[in-house]
Amino acid sequence: LEQPEISISRARGKSARISCKMSNEAMNTVVHWYRQKPDQGIEHLTYVSTSLPNPSGTGSKKFEASTNAQTSTATLTINFLEETDEAVYYCACWDWIHSIRDARRS
């Protein structure tokens, strides 16, 4: 995974989109989105998969994750921006099917 944008800025109340470029192998995995606010730990926000439904998340739809197979891109949309959304955002992927299978073998 590669995050091409170093920094983005948007006005309060608007939406921001953060993209993550995926390799072909990553297109068949689950992409997770995290953020880290200054002087805090890493917080898991949401995930998206091409083979699983997106989790419902909060009723406000604060965080929405999507993938685009044609552009090999995963996108996190942060809605209703607030000052408290200022953070470093990360994307990560792992093949949960193989992880579960390997755990059952142990």
What are 71-84's pLDDT values in tens digits? 888 899 999 999 99
Q: Which residue has the higher pLDDT, 19 or 1?
A: 19
The whole model's pTM is what? Answer: 0.76
Q: What is the pLDDT of residue 60?
A: 54
Q: Which domains are seen in the chain, by residue range?
A: 16-105 (2.60.40.10)
Mean pLDDT of 13-40: 85
Q: Which residue has the higher pLDDT, 96 or 58?
A: 96
Say if residues 35 and 89 touch (Cβ distance below 8 Å): yes
Residue of 8, 11, 26, 28 whose CA lies nearest to 76:
8
Whole-angstrom distance, CA of residue 17 vs CA of residue 10:
10
In the predicted structure, residue 51 carries a pLDDT above the cut 90: no
Please provide the average confidence, as pLDDT, over all residues in the chain.
80
Say if residues 31 and 12 touch (Cβ distance below 8 Å): no
Whole-angstrom distance, CA of residue 21 vs CA of residue 73:
5
Residue of 24, 17, 40, 20 whose CA lies nearest to 32:
20
Residue of 102, 74, 95, 89 whose CA lies nearest to 36:
89
Q: Of the given ranges (50-54, 93-97, 100-104), which has the lowest mean pLDDT?
A: 100-104
